[in-house]
Amino acid sequence: MKQPLRCLICYAALAALVLPAVQCNLTKPVAPAPPVLPAPPPAGFALIPAGEFTMGDALDGDENALPHRVNVSAFYLQKKEVSGAQWTAVRAWGLQHGYRDLPNAGGKEANHPVHTLSWYAAVKWSNAKSEKEGLTPCYYTDAAQTKPYRNGEADLSNTMVKWSANGYRLPTEAEWEKAARGGLNGKRYPQGNTISHAQVNYMQTGGESYKTGTPRFQPAFHTGGTPYTSPGGSFAANGYGLYDMAGNVWEWCWDWFEPYPATLQTDPRGPESGLGEDPRRALRGGAWDGDADACRVASRMGFVPYVVRDGHSSAYLGFRLARSPAQPNLTEPVPPAPPLATKAALVPLVSPHLKAAVRADFALIPAGEFTMGDVSDGEAWLKPRQVTVSALYMQRKEVSKAQWDEVRAWGLRHGYADLAEGTGKAADHPVLMVSWYDAVKWCNARSEKEGLTPCYFTDAKHKAVLKTGTAPIYNTMVDWRTANGYRLPTEAEWEKAARGGLVGKRFPWGDTISHQEANFDNSGNETYQTGTTGYHPAHKTGEAPFTSPGGSFAPNGYGLYDMAGNAWEWCWDCGNSNSAALTTDPHGSAGPNRVLRGGTCGTRANSCRVASRTDSSPGNTYYGPGFRTVRR
């Protein structure tokens, strides 16, 4: 009786702290609204997920790009630079609708990026495109935001931008760099640490040690007269599906080109005004005539916001567009609970602060298509295939022993009579020795504990909530579409999330693995393992298993921890071989075993690859399986 009593006392104390007054729902628990996902990206745009990243140069000592941590809200970014054809079409409309001085710019060809553009022209064109499509423009000539910017050369300040508008705008420097990195951490380029003409249209003339291949201009596009631009999408996309984030044309950003703070920033927009007699706006990405140094994701250049004046002229300045999502981000305030009802069952209302705290533990995994399976090591069981996954939220860390115990205690009092006790090396380590059945039932228990609709049922009509037993469960017994509760990820959801936005890599961060990145047994003979051997030296303490606290290593591009190593993670699917067909939100087929993903503190590098999979009987409990949850 002591443990339940202590839980009730703690709950009461917490409620007293977060609730201004005791409120009661007189009918039944009010289910919190399901998480609000950003709408699918507009055509030609990619969703850049919200999250924290290291902005700046951590490799080459660039004094203009000191590394610092930055939080960026989710936004959309155009996959390709604005083309000559796009510019011409919007300009024609603009000249007939009050945009009198949009220049007659163009591209080398219709599908090449537009160039020789001033910052002023790019901003006004963004407003023209917004109004042409019936959207709210972002830029105004007054702080009250009543007069859209259409003509002239106005040096706008941050207060003259309607950041919440659904129209088009230039990305901030922070948005641009987060997007350019494509989910990679600490790399020089969108594709890694080296650059060649096979990846980027740039001029290879510098003395950088990280350039490879042919010298001078990109040979395939060194044709005709300058500029030697290339059609948008001529090279592979980065992890977020963006093209030409290095090379082709420099891209205007919103910010003034000034030093940025070294402290943690959230959605920074730069100073209100530029400094000096001839202030400059920021450009990013390098160009067809820029060297390898200029194409780094952290590289910055400042340029006067006009193009042709006093001898200034350039055929290498272009831009791409950003848009703000119409829906709130994961971290935005949660709407208040509905008003009190009028009947009898005294249940405390859920505090908005508690709901926000729960949501902060989850990361948004954006919708999209990706290549699922092994493209590096030739494993027949991991045949690559194209899969489309809808947006979802995934728990940032594996379920901890403390989380397991809290929900299990509640479940045992509310009909979940056979939830296993589980083990864990410490409260903040992942729970272990839980079967697939235990994990599924625990998900339902947590859902009901928090007033959410559970996902798993014992019947195809979704009438009887799964609470006990080990009877077979099929896809039809899962409420995939309407339930807002917790569940296990499918294999496709897990692998898309584990990749963190990277394309074609072995691990969540790249192609090699060491104890700097993951808790695993570095005892194999794989060519892609490096560093100290054996178990992880920092976590090989006491008795096995040698797990580590959740979050001991850097997160991947989506903000998820331990997607390689620490504990195997149960997935929904059965362990049958994958189909090579294009599929959308696959749930797997029937079979006796269930899939495990991610490797453990005791498995070798091969098992920690994002494509690696194993399976086990759903009733097995041993020092390997843990799990993490997802929500729609």
Distance CA 245, CA 66 (A): 20
pLDDT, mean of residues 21-32: 35
Close Cβ partners of 481 (under 8 Å, ≥ 6 residues apart): none
pLDDT, mean of residues 605-617: 94
Q: Any idea which residue has 């729970």 for tokens? A: 431
Q: Among the ranges 166-180, 524-538, 574-588, which has the highest mean pLDDT value?
A: 166-180
The predicted pLDDT at position 57 comes to 87
Name the nearest CA neighbour of 249 among 79, 121, 117, 55: 117
The predicted pLDDT at position 38 comes to 56
Question: Contact at 8 Å (CB) between 142 and 116?
Answer: no
Q: How confident is the model at residue 183 (pLDDT cuts 50, 70, 90)?
A: confident
For 257-296, what is each residue's pLDDT tens digit?
A: 988 877 788 999 999 888 777 899 999 999 999 999 999 9
Between 36 and 416, where is the model more confident? 416
pLDDT, mean of residues 513-539: 92
Question: Contact at 8 Å (CB) between 395 and 629?
Answer: yes
The predicted pLDDT at position 83 comes to 96
CA angle 141, 147, 150 (to 5 degrees): 70
For 379-422, what is each residue's pLDDT tens digit?
A: 766 788 899 999 899 999 999 999 999 999 999 999 999 999 99
pLDDT, mean of residues 582-605: 88
Q: Is residue 75 predicted with pLDDT exceeding 90?
A: yes
Q: Is residue 407 classed as helix, strand or coil in its secondary structure?
A: helix
The predicted pLDDT at position 14 comes to 29
Burial of 111 (0-12, 13-18, 19+ CB in 10 A): middle
DSSP 363-406: EEE--EEEEES-SSS--GGG--EEEEE--EEEESSPPBHHHHHH
The predicted pLDDT at position 449 comes to 96
The predicted pLDDT at position 581 comes to 57
pLDDT, mean of residues 185-192: 89
Between 491 and 10, where is the model more confident? 491
Question: Contact at 8 Å (CB) between 369 and 385?
Answer: no
Distance CA 403, CA 600 (A): 20
The beta strands (E) that lie in 137-275 are given as: 168-169, 250-256, 265-266
Name the nearest CA neighbour of 399 among 135, 622, 139, 629: 629
Cβ atoms within 10 A of the Cβ of 90, count?
Answer: 23
The predicted pLDDT at position 582 comes to 54
Cβ atoms within 10 A of the Cβ of 588, count?
Answer: 19
DSSP 227: P
- Name the helix (H) or strand (E) containing 625: strand 625-626
Question: Contact at 8 Å (CB) between 31 and 484?
Answer: yes
pLDDT, mean of residues 457-475: 94
DSSP 170: P
The predicted pLDDT at position 577 comes to 55
Q: Is residue 17 predicted with pLDDT exceeding 90?
A: no
The predicted pLDDT at position 578 comes to 58
For 313-326, what is each residue's pLDDT tens digit?
A: 577 899 999 999 86
Interstrand relation of 625-626 and 568-574 (parallel, antiparallel or unpaired): parallel
The predicted pLDDT at position 351 comes to 28
Read off the pTM.
Answer: 0.57
Name the nearest CA neighbour of 497 among 376, 387, 333, 356: 387
Close Cβ partners of 209 (under 8 Å, ≥ 6 residues apart): none
Q: Is residue 201 predicted with pLDDT exceeding 70?
A: yes
Close Cβ partners of 64 (under 8 Å, ≥ 6 residues apart): 259, 300
Q: Any idea which residue has 């995934």 for tokens? A: 394
Q: How confident is the model at residue 353 (pLDDT cuts 50, 70, 90)?
A: very low
Q: Is residue 529 predicted with pLDDT exceeding 50?
A: yes
Q: Is residue 61 predicted with pLDDT exceeding 90?
A: no
Q: Is residue 164 predicted with pLDDT exceeding 80?
A: yes
- Name the helix (H) or strand (E) containing 51: strand 51-55
Close Cβ partners of 12 (under 8 Å, ≥ 6 residues apart): none
Between 401-412 and 436-449, two packed helices, what is the crossing angle to 10 degrees? 70
Q: Is residue 142 predicted with pLDDT exceeding 70?
A: yes
Q: How confident is the model at residue 580 (pLDDT cuts 50, 70, 90)?
A: low
Distance CA 162, CA 254 (A): 13
Cα atoms in the Cβ-side hemisphere of radius 13 Å centred on 544: 12
Distance CA 44, CA 281 (A): 26
* Rg (the chain; Cα; Å): 27
Burial per residue of 555-585, b for 16 or more beta-carbon CB atoms within 10 angstroms, e otherwise: bbbbbbbbbbbbbbbbbbbbbeebeeeebee
Q: Is residue 175 classed as helix, strand or coil in its secondary structure?
A: helix
What phi and psi values does residue 119 have, to the nearest 5 degrees?
-60, -40
Q: How confident is the model at residue 327 (pLDDT cuts 50, 70, 90)?
A: very low
For 339-352, what is each residue's pLDDT tens digit?
A: 323 322 222 222 23
- Lowest-pLDDT range of 57-71, 128-142, 283-297, 298-312: 298-312
Q: Is residue 549 predicted with pLDDT exceeding 90?
A: yes
Name the nearest CA neighbour of 83 among 233, 305, 285: 233
Q: Is residue 537 predicted with pLDDT exceeding 80?
A: yes
The predicted pLDDT at position 602 comes to 93
Q: Is residue 153 predicted with pLDDT exceeding 50?
A: yes
Interstrand relation of 281-284 and 45-48 (parallel, antiparallel or unpaired): unpaired
The predicted pLDDT at position 32 comes to 41
Cα dihedral sign for 606, 608, 613, 618?
positive
What is the residue-averaged pLDDT of the chain?
A: 85
Question: Contact at 8 Å (CB) between 226 and 208?
Answer: no
Q: How confident is the model at residue 24 (pLDDT cuts 50, 70, 90)?
A: very low
- Lowest-pLDDT range of 222-236, 296-310, 433-447: 296-310
Q: Is residue 328 predicted with pLDDT exceeding 60?
A: no
Q: Among the ranges 10-24, 210-224, 311-325, which has the highest mean pLDDT value?
A: 210-224
